[in-house]
Structure 1
Amino acid sequence: MTRRFVLLLLTALALVVPSQPAAAKTLPVVDMTALDAAAHVEGYRGNQPALGDDPSTILVQQALTKKGFTVEADGEYGRATTKAYTKFQRSLGYKTIDANGVPGPESLAVLGAGRFTVSHVVQVGSRSDTYYGKRVNTRTRQMLVAADAAVPWKLRLAQGSYCGLVKARCAAASAGTHDGGGVVDVSVKGMSTTRRWQTVQALRQVGFAAWLRTPSQCGGCWSAHIHAVAIGDTDVWQRNGKFTNRDQVADYFVGRNGLSGHKRDNTPTKYRVPFTTWEQYAGL
């Protein structure tokens, strides 16, 4: 068989054998759970690599810049990124609580189209769910159910969420922390001190930043209760330009008490747990 014949044969085969389609482009992945936890913590505390969000945040920052909402791709979900993401949300027609700079699943999907996919999606669900008569979103209710199952007594709420959204009256001492989603006060009436701390622990295990509040912390302006903020909830609310509930999560991350003085968390060591989210706890 001559060399010329071999070349002709190969040419003929190339004409009849269909070409293979190009491999589909593999897009990078944004971990939404880590991203939203960072959106809570880093806006107030600065970059925290331990959150594991940096690669995801960089992808979001790059996508925002390509959309015309320029921000440095430094992996820190700080104030600049929050502001840029808020502008992006508003460009999609979102307002008030839906344009708060914390990525929701719908806006993140739009931003990532052709650029990245999204894993470990944070879904708050309905804003009209209730838990023992108090308004919460679906994610918060699921978290409370899980925490309730971890202790042999029932968790009763003294205050729920979305006071700002429905223009309901929240306790003045709450300073707007209950205006958005993911924030509750748990009653400790009739609980022993041990049970109070065990309840704090149960709430933290399922993804709440939670603290026992006592009258001495505010000069008697509130009765004893447990204040809990769902880490990574996308329905944080601004009051006078400040994210009071989001910044409380930032305090919790570094072992502070979430109050204006930012004192050390007084929770006994035996009742503390590692920083976690509902999605991590539930394996979502």
Structure 2
Amino acid sequence: MRLPSYAAVLVATALLTGAVEAPVAQAVDAKALPKPLPQALSNALPMALPSVDMEATIKAAQIDPRRPDNTLTPGAKASVLLVEQALRDRQLLDAKWVDGYFGTTTIAAFAKYQESLGYSGLDATGLPGKTSLTKLGTGRYTVTRILEPGARVSSDGFTINTRTQKMLAEAERLLGRDLVLSQGSYNPGGDPTSAGTHDGGGVVDISVDGMSAATRTTVARALRQVGFAAWVRNPDQGDWPWHIHAAAISDTDLSSQAQHQTGDYYLGLNGLADHGPDDGPKVTIRTWEEYQRS
């Protein structure tokens, strides 16, 4: 039997793996291509792993636990299923919960997996981080659209992360004015009225001193446009002065309480304990990454 040329095998392999498209292969002498490809070569080709879209998975992990029903987060089902199947095979999740819905049971299972890796605190809230999501998928799936909060930095004397810093800078650009923080992130127990939302990353309070009601709303709108769940807070809602509370959607360092707020924001709620309707300016909800692509 006459074996196909080395070049033909390379082209056939590239076609099967999607490395090149058919028009490229047409430049090769069709007679040199094996018809059909020898089974031995076909069997030797590596199988491409499916991929988990981290952006979609993180979005589902914020929204699904806050839903009153089992509606799936659009665009997340395939990725969530891969994660749940991996948790199931590690005996961390019962098979009946492998449904593409990243609800409280899946959150708890993922938190157990994070703990098995030696993580605790903010690193074991059940919200997947890059490292835990990638390790869980070893040999099973790859991870795309990776999210990372970045290093911790100082702003107005408060600690935030670089993702939050970039988001604030873009909001300032849109507004044409500087914003002053009255509270930052990674501040566990620093303000009891915050109910733990500032314990992790991605959450800030903005001072509104000297702002009119219209300006406060304009600032909240800009923060929402760049990917924050942001609300103007007033003294009638709690034991606090007027300020703007902003939580960076899909920050993987969010505390559990802040995750709940971002999920509520997607569901049209105000992020407070009363689960009231959203009282902020209406904008298309986007994450920071979605804003950048738009």
Please say whether Structure 1 and Structure 2 have the same fold, judged by a TM-score greater than 0.5: yes
2:154 paired with 1:144: no
Task: For 1:16 and 1:203, locate their aligned partners in 2 and report how far apart those are by CA, in whole Å.
Answer: 59
Task: For 2:112 and 2:234, locate their aligned partners in 1 and report how far apart those are by CA, in whole Å.
Answer: 39
2:259 partner letter:
R
Task: For 1:39 and 1:210, locate their aligned partners in 2 and report how far apart those are by CA, in whole Å.
Answer: 19
2:162 paired with 1:162: no
2:273 paired with 1:256: no
Of 77, 81, 84, the residue aligned with 1:54 is 77
1:7 corresponds in structure 2 to none
Task: For 2:158 and 2:277, locate their aligned partners in 1 and report how far apart those are by CA, in whole Å.
Answer: 30
Of 82, 97, 117, the residue aligned with 1:92 is 117
- Which structure 2 residues correspond to residues 99-138 of structure 1 after superposition, within 5 A? 99-126=124-151, 128-138=152-162
Query: Which consecutive residues of structure 1, in runs of 5 or more, have no partner in the other structure?
Result: 1-9, 238-242
- Report the 3-state secondary structure (helix = DSSP H, G, I; strand = E; otherwise coil) of the residue aligned with 1:184: strand
The count of aligned residue pairs is 258
Question: Structure with the greater relative contact order (CA < 8 A, sep ≥ 6): 1 or 2?
Answer: 1
2:293 paired with 1:280: no
- Report the 3-state secondary structure (helix = DSSP H, G, I; strand = E; otherwise coil) of the residue aligned with 1:257: coil
1:142 partner letter:
K
Task: For 2:4 and 2:161, locate their aligned partners in 1 and report how far apart those are by CA, in whole Å.
Answer: 61
2:244 paired with 1:226: yes
Native 8 Å contact 1:47 1:77 kept in 2: no
Q: Identify if the C-alpha distance between structure 1 residues 23 and 175 changes in structure 2 by more than 3 Å, giving closer, same or farther.
A: same
- Report the 3-state secondary structure (helix = DSSP H, G, I; strand = E; otherwise coil) of the residue aligned with 2:133: helix
Native 8 Å contact 1:47 1:75 kept in 2: no
Q: Identify if the C-alpha distance between structure 1 residues 90 and 75 changes in structure 2 by more than 3 Å, giving closer, same or farther.
A: same
1:50 Cα deviation from its structure 2 partner: 4.3
Q: Percent identity?
A: 43
2:22 corresponds in structure 1 to none
Of 193, 202, 213, the residue aligned with 2:233 is 213
Native 8 Å contact 2:187 2:200 kept in 1: yes
- Report the 3-state secondary structure (helix = DSSP H, G, I; strand = E; otherwise coil) of the residue aligned with 1:136: strand
2:213 partner letter:
T
1:48 Cα deviation from its structure 2 partner: 4.1
Query: Please, what TM-score do these two structures have when normalized by structure 1?
Result: 0.85
1:6 corresponds in structure 2 to none
1:29 corresponds in structure 2 to 51
1:194 Cα deviation from its structure 2 partner: 1.6
- Report the 3-state secondary structure (helix = DSSP H, G, I; strand = E; otherwise coil) of the residue aligned with 2:154: strand
Query: Please, what TM-score do these two structures have when normalized by structure 2?
Result: 0.82
Native 8 Å contact 1:38 1:77 kept in 2: yes
Native 8 Å contact 1:203 1:210 kept in 2: yes
Native 8 Å contact 2:73 2:101 kept in 1: no
2:257 paired with 1:244: yes
1:15 Cα deviation from its structure 2 partner: 11
1:173 corresponds in structure 2 to 193
1:4 corresponds in structure 2 to none
